[in-house]
Structure 1
């Protein structure tokens, strides 16, 4: 066959193949475009909650599911509140995308199924900056400026009680209702009813975690000025001691220390600050042991929970009065990294039975 004729026949075939190659995108290209769209969006202002001072805002895509011109993305959001978080906060998210004008666009951003929401998922957030605090308030939240002022007073009180290193500033979240608070924390409203505030954050050494003090607006409204000061100082002390707190730190020590810091320097007597435990002691029901971890559980019998917190406070108060404040903070530091028996011996020179007997005797004398 004449070579030229073969070339004439082959050219249309090559042209068809080239055109087909242009019309069909290589496998995986669309997914890469989706991932690129998420990355671009997370770097832009529309991808961030308005007014909140965030930095290092980034979505790490974990999965992409496409259906034509729509896509569903699962991602891990990581961010820091500028000037407050030494380590990033994390949130599992679900993003909706659609093709618009030939490009993928984000159409929705929400908590992934089973993940906790962020405060901005509940609506527009108001921001109040204190001298030592950052208050983020959801729709309908009570008096964020007043809470910021109270937090500014709580920070130095916690620092005075805790000599260990910490950031010396705090982030406070104020949702608009008890139900909204429960949503943020992943619990039921009944579990937090009656509480003024709680603290979130992981324990352990390393970079300071992204702690948040979460105010219960219903419980906060029921507190007087003194009660609000005590509640916020207690919670801020948890933030201050976080790096020294581990899974081995007894709850009676961590909760008792926070209450001791909150009452420290005040005029509240044991009978005034421990009414529930006082009633039990006067009935002849002196506790047989320091409060166990389960006694502090949210949502339990309110009277029993009150007795646990009061007993923990009086245990730490006893240690500070008898062995000294330095011994109490030394015990706290050791208890996070050593067995309690070793920590007690090194910090106080006693064992647990000896401390328990001294505590029981103090309860009889101070609460009778």
Structure 2
């Protein structure tokens, strides 16, 4: 039997338990080791350090050199390794990161700061673009001070313009016949984007012979990534399933355009609807519609003319919104204007359908060849009224009257 006099009292036991817990917590946290979570002051010479650091990132000619230049923290190493591998997948070259300002005042609770950097790069042949424009975006890099006095580059976000794809996440590139699909962090896993991109390329070629080049599709994993890649606030892309845009969201030529999907919308569509969207955007890309000054109804209506050319869905599906408006006495009085196609406009679906119905009517009356000739003329800069007369012998007023009659007749056949 144990000696009762040698037993520990309840207070002593509680103290020992607390000591053991504290020791375990210390061993787990290891405060004597460097931590990404530790708040460290930003060095006084941060701008000079950052200018040199981004020069080192520019000059890096290997993954190890790029990772070393990014900083000593674990987060920086992961970020830099991912960015380098994305660069490699995209064949990016002429990469330059030029420090502009910032990084010297903490603006986050963890003590990190925002450094503004101009990032330039040129896409390689890997992503199917014939254009070799050097793209430049203003990027906000998050930099975190470390206990060794250095700064670590831990993340990137767009400041002005689109975020370079190789800074957006883990990137993979897959080339298939006539198309290239760039997935960011796995992309949209709900639909077979690769085969759909190939189908879109073929569909455009059947209606518009002679189109050249690949269809390049960027498939982000999240809507937030999509917004960053097109350089737009997230609120402005919520209704958009996909958009055709220049690679940097700004300048460049018509040969550097890509289709960027919005997974929050695109992945919720059924296969038919998603294919229509992708073929619509592929028409914009392959006919160099980005940046055109042509009337919006011509650009958008023709893209749907191609996308729905072989579609077998009834009008109640493909034009249900505009025909419902017509049956309710709210039919359009004039051809759609550019303002009608504003992404935030009410009844946007009906506007697109109404533009498509113009081309559907023209195709049924005059045939594909004359419709394509009209579209090409307008895209080449011919005035709308002259292109209508040359292609169909119609004035704008005559087209408008025929279209309104066509809508009324079509609405009467839809239950």
1:58 aligns with 2:95: yes
Query: Match of 1:58, SS?
Result: strand
Give the structure 2 partner of residue 16 of structure 1.
none
State how 1:209-224 maps to structure 2 within 5 Å.
Answer: 209-224=255-270
Contact 2:226 2:262 in 1 (8 A): yes
**1 CA distance for matches of 2:157 and 2:323?**
45
* Separation (CA, whole Å) in 2 of partners of 1:312 and 1:334: 18
1:231 Cα deviation from its structure 2 partner:
1.2
In structure 2, how many angstroms separate the alpha carbons of the residues matched to 1:49 and 1:96?
17
Q: 1:116 aligns with which of 140, 162, 166?
A: 162
Distance 1:216 1:322, change over 3 A: same
Which residue in the other structure is 1:306 paired with?
Answer: 349
Aligned pair partner of 2:182 in 123, 131, 136: 136
Distance change >3 Å, CA 36–CA 362, structure 1 → 2: same
Match of 1:146 among 179, 192, 205: 192
Aligned-pair CA distance for 1:95: 7.1
Instruction: Say which of 298, 304, 314 aligns to 1:269.
Output: 314
Of residues 145, 155, 159, the one that matches 2:205 is: 159
Find the aligned partners of 1:160 and 1:354 in 2 and give their Cα distance.
29
Give the secondary-structure state (helix, strand or coil) at the position aligned to 1:290: coil
How far 1:323 sits from its partner (Å)?
A: 1.9
| Aligned pairs (5 A) from 1:129-278 | 129-139=175-185, 141-143=187-189, 146-167=192-213, 169-201=214-246, 208-242=254-288, 247-278=292-323
Q: Which runs of structure 2 are paired with 1:16-27 in the superposition (5 Å)? A: none
Aligned partner of 1:77 among 120, 123, 126: 120
Q: Residues 36, 195 of structure 1: CA spacing in aligned structure 2 closer, same or farther, 3 A cutoff?
A: closer
**Cα pair distance change 1:106/1:327, threshold 3 Å:** farther
Asked if the contact 2:50/2:151 (under 8 Å) is kept, the reply is: no
Show CA shifts across 1:225-273 (max 9, x none): 211211111111111111x665321111111111111110221333331
Match of 2:394 among 350, 353, 356: 350
Q: Which structure 1 residue ranges, 5 or more long, are not aligned?
A: 1-29, 98-103
- Which residue of structure 1 aligns with residue 339 of structure 2? 294
Contact (CA 8 Å) 2:168, 2:229: kept in 1 or not? no
SS in 2 for 1:265: coil
How many Å separate the matches in 1 of 2:58 and 2:225? Answer: 30
Equivalent residues, number: 330
- Work out the CA distance in 2 between the residues paired with 1:36 and 1:119: 20
Instruction: Spell out, residue by residue over 1:11-36, the C-alpha distance to the aligned partner (whole angstroms, 9 max, x if none).
Output: xxxxxxxxxxxxxxxxxxx9998896
- Alignment match, 1:322: 365
Superposed displacement of residue 318, structure 1: 1.3
Between the aligned partners of 1:136 and 1:189, the Cα distance in structure 2 is 21
Asked whether the equivalents of residues 294 and 378 of structure 2 are also in contact (C-alpha less than 8 Å), the reply is: yes
- What TM-score does the superposition give when structure 1 sets the normalisation length? 0.76
Output the CA distance in 2 between the equivalents of 1:93 and 1:332: 38
Q: Which residue of structure 2 aligns with residue 20 of structure 1?
A: none
Work out the CA distance in 1 between the residues paired with 2:152 and 2:178: 36
Please state whether the residue corresponding to 1:317 is helix, strand or coil. helix
Q: Deviations over 1:162-202 (max 9, x none)?
A: 224321x1221122222332232333444333432221129
Secondary structure in 1 matching 2:181:
strand
Change (3 A) 1:53 1:185: closer
Aligned residues: CA RMSD: 3.6
Matched, 1:283 2:328: yes
TM-score between the two structures when normalised by the length of structure 2: 0.68
1:361 deviates by 1.0
